[in-house]
Structure 1
């Protein structure tokens, strides 16, 4: 049987750690490129788009290709943000007992 007081303390610590992790993710900057480095997208750890940069010498003549490169860079940056967020959350929940019925 679980000690309820101990579980409550662990839950409170996990909540504090999760809030700290959330702030860390908001401050984190993750970038990814496409088109051989022609396009760079930057997102925060929550996958919010922070910026896009396109190399000055990149030929924007093909708008569809340029748009595809932007989308590719954004998706890659967001995928990396997901990976980093998963790692952070694994640390937050490490050591918590598995209680049947709670996920």
Structure 2
């Protein structure tokens, strides 16, 4: 019985290392989303940090600031959703079949 416990601990350590590597890889990824036909582009890393925002001069209209704000919000929300989806897909591979609280997602 002690041998089984040692094997299980080794397997858990291997899985933990794989999970940490996968999480590091996710953090290094770059995600990009745009709105308004590319008029606004938001870039973020896998840590959900916005690293760049590009706004086309054509969409900057002092008389229609609301539209610009909506485009920035749409692109930002889209890029965050991409990161969350990728994180859930990647990290979910490690929690399949486990009965973890909160669905086992990170």
Please report the TM-score for the alignment, with normalisation by the length of structure 1: 0.80
Structure 1 residue 51 corresponds to structure 2 residue 52: yes
Preserved contact between residue 59 and residue 68 of structure 2 (Cα < 8 Å): no
Preserved contact between residue 29 and residue 44 of structure 1 (Cα < 8 Å): yes
Alpha-carbon distance between aligned partners in 1 of 2:50 and 2:28, rounded to the nearest angstrom:
12
Structure 1 residue 84 corresponds to structure 2 residue 72: no
Alpha-carbon distance between aligned partners in 2 of 1:8 and 1:60, rounded to the nearest angstrom:
61
Alpha-carbon distance between aligned partners in 1 of 2:38 and 2:47, rounded to the nearest angstrom:
23
Bigger relative contact order (CA 8 A; separation at least 6): 1
SS of structure 2 residue aligned to 1:52: strand
| RMSD, aligned α-carbons | 2.1
Unaligned runs of 5+ in 2: 102-106
Structure 1 residue 8 corresponds to structure 2 residue 9: yes
What per-residue deviation string (whole Å, max 9, x for no partner) do you get for residues 24-43 of structure 1? 11110010111111101111
More helix by share: 2
Unaligned runs of 5+ in 1: none
Name 2:104's counterpart in structure 1. none
Please report the TM-score for the alignment, with normalisation by the length of structure 2: 0.78
Preserved contact between residue 41 and residue 54 of structure 2 (Cα < 8 Å): yes
Alpha-carbon distance between aligned partners in 1 of 2:77 and 2:8, rounded to the nearest angstrom:
38
Deviation at 1:68, TM superposition (A): 1.6
